[in-house]
Structure 1
Amino acid sequence: MALFFAMCLDAWLGEPRWLWSQVAHPAVMMGRAVGWLDQRFNTRDSRLEGLIAFAALVIGAGLLGWALALLPGRWIDLLIGAVLLAQKSLVEHVKAVQEGLRSSLDDGRRAVAMIVSRDTGQMDESDVARSAIESAAENFSDGVIAPAFWFLIGGLPALLIYKITNTADSMIGYRTPRHEKFGWAAARFDDLLNWIPARVTAVIIGLACPGARLAPVRRDAKLHRSPNAGWPEAAMAYGLQIALSGPRRYGGVMTDYAFVNADGKRDLGADDIAAAIRVLWISWGMALTLVVAIGLVGRVVMTVFSLW
């Protein structure tokens, strides 16, 4: 039941600034490790060098998780699980965009620039709201469901392996001249680790939104440039009856991505972000209930086997 309490602690406390202003957050330490390997070994954007560097990260994270799991008591599982989940911080970042947009378009742009990598300077109100909602859906999968899934499957070793992989993908997994080959292993392994959680997230969001249907979600998820991110985004789009994804600007260049739920509402605003936040909390509650159910079933199964 460590995962249950970790999810509750994360949802209650989030990421207290007083703590992480004094010590480095584990995600920051992971980022430093990825950055050091990138600077030290990425000399010619070699796929082999990238694979070796990434393998070192994964092995190191797994061994660290294994060592921590050996400590007496379950408190370490609970604390690390809570730290590496991101429900409250995700909601806070998305809500900041909602509040910023209610204040002014410029405030909304500044807030959304904190959570997306696309150009924000020329966004209109709908662009800002759409970006925030997409980030909410995708990061609910990456920051809540996926780490919870791997924690449930393999404890701290699996959780730390997932988080270091996700961190590496966010830093070196892009197809840029520097990381086209070096970040290949991190990007592909991140796709693999998120394959099941992304689809589980889509189902959970779909259950939280009566308007969502699996068939159109499955169809439109394939329109997304990512093999996984399209699932939670499509579920959110159909659940709220809005259009997500679509054209956006990166580095001054407009990219013509297809819309997800193209027939949905496109004139979005702060109220639509608020609706997405409600979906995040309902979905979180459903995920917590699922964790409890799995725990109870596990206990029943163990009891039955012990009787034999």
Structure 2
Amino acid sequence: MHNIFIALFAYLIDRKFGEFSFIKHPIIVIGEIITFFEKKFYKDSVTRGCLLVLFVLGIVSFFTLLLYLSLQLFNPFLNILISSFIASMFIAHKMLRDSVQNLLHVKNKKEAIAMLVSRDTKEMSESDVYKAAIETYAENLSDGVIAPIFYLLLFNLSGIVIYKAINTMDSMVGYRNEKYEKFGKCAAKLDDFANYIPSRLTALIIMLLAKQKNIFAFYEDGKKHESPNAGHPITAMALALHVQLGGDTSYFGKIKKKAHFGTGKEKIEKEDVQKALKLL
């Protein structure tokens, strides 16, 4: 029950206030630890990348355990209140919603979507922009909302902080390019493992909220994604909105062949994005 109260209050705090400008965000601190190790000890090697993971998780685990033990000195009410405040900083629902919502109201939609996705945006149609917005919203519901809450419920503050450390390492070094193919492999695989259950849980939640008859229908298309996890919430969102997501996409000037997710209409409209935002 202790963890449930913390998770509930943390989610509500995030939905109401979002990011706190008066305090340095802990994700930035984790990013600085990753950058420090990379600058000092980078080597094009899987072993060195695994050492990065051990280094970052060791530091994060130590300070999180210290924080957890310190909070035990407070009475239960204060413990839950402070824990909820800290945990809320690792949930990003308001920031995610606001970023996608903002896209619907700005004049330069291509410039706005470029801040959210890594794909080429210059030649995007309005439908492409809306499709990218729905895809990034669905995928990040798992990474930024459901997964953090999932690990918070299971392992208290330690769970949510360690999960976000894993997720941050993946976002910084988990790329399949010349520099990070080996160095980032350990971080990327660990992130895949950590998101295995939450990504499918996110898809199930979307299907349930959309009142889909077959709540596991997302799996068939979801497993076609190159990521072992991202395709499931994206497919679930496509089925919930009755649209088709995915398809060939341009990255860094080259067309990348991608599977299609869902079987609905191909032209995505503003109303479809609004429906996605209302769903959760």
Q: TM-score, normalised by structure 1?
A: 0.84
For 2:8 and 2:61, locate their aligned partners in 1 and report how far apart those are by CA, in whole Å. Answer: 22
- Residue of structure 2 equivalent to 1:287: none
In 2, Cα distance between equivalents of 1:150 and 1:264: 33
Give the match for residue 13 of structure 1.
17
Question: Cα distance, 1:185 vs. partner?
Answer: 0.7
Counting helix residues as a fraction of each chain, which structure ranks higher? 1
2:185 alignment partner in structure 1 = 184
Give the whole-Å Cα distance in 2 for the aligned partners of 1:57 and 1:76: 24
Instruction: Give the distance between the partners of 1:113 and 1:213, measured in 2 at CA.
Output: 34
> Percent identity over the alignment?
37
- C-alpha displacement of 1:93: 0.6
Q: Which runs of 5+ in 2 are unaligned?
A: none
Q: What's the CA shift for 1:157? A: 1.5
Gap runs ≥5 in structure 1 = 281-308
Which residue of the partner structure matches residue 58 of structure 2?
59
The equivalent residue for 1:296 is none
2:180 & 2:277 partners in 1: Cα distance?
Answer: 34
Matched to 1:53, the amino acid is L
Residue in 1 that maps onto 2:197 = 196
Deviation track 1:144-186 (CA, whole Å, cap 9, x = no partner) reads 1000010111111121110011001011001110000110110
Q: CA RMSD in A?
A: 1.3
Aligned to 1:230: 231
Question: In structure 1, what is the equivalent of residue 172 of structure 2?
Answer: 171
In 1: Cα distance, 2:118 partner to 2:32 partner: 20
Q: TM-score, normalised by structure 2?
A: 0.93
3-state SS in 2 of match to 1:99 = coil
Residues in 2 aligned to 1:240 and 1:164: alpha-carbon distance in whole angstroms = 32
| Contact 1:63 1:157 (8 Å CA) reproduced | no
Query: Which amino acid counterpart does residue 120 of structure 2 have in structure 1?
Result: D
CA distance in 2, matches of 1:63, 1:232: 33
- How far the C-alpha of 1:212 sits from its partner, in A, is 6.4
Q: Is the 8 A contact 2:46 2:183 kept in 1?
A: yes
Q: Which amino acid aligns with 2:19?
A: E
Distance 1:173 1:58 in 2: 16
Pairing 1:207-226 to 2, within 5 Å after superposition: 207-211=208-212, 213-226=214-227
Alignment of 1:259-270 (within 5 A): 259-261=260-262, 263-270=263-270
* Whole-Å separation in 1 of the counterparts to 2:189 and 2:67: 27
Q: Which moved more, 1:132-141 or 1:74-83?
A: 74-83
Contact 2:199 2:229 in 1 (8 A): yes
State the partner residue of 2:272: 272
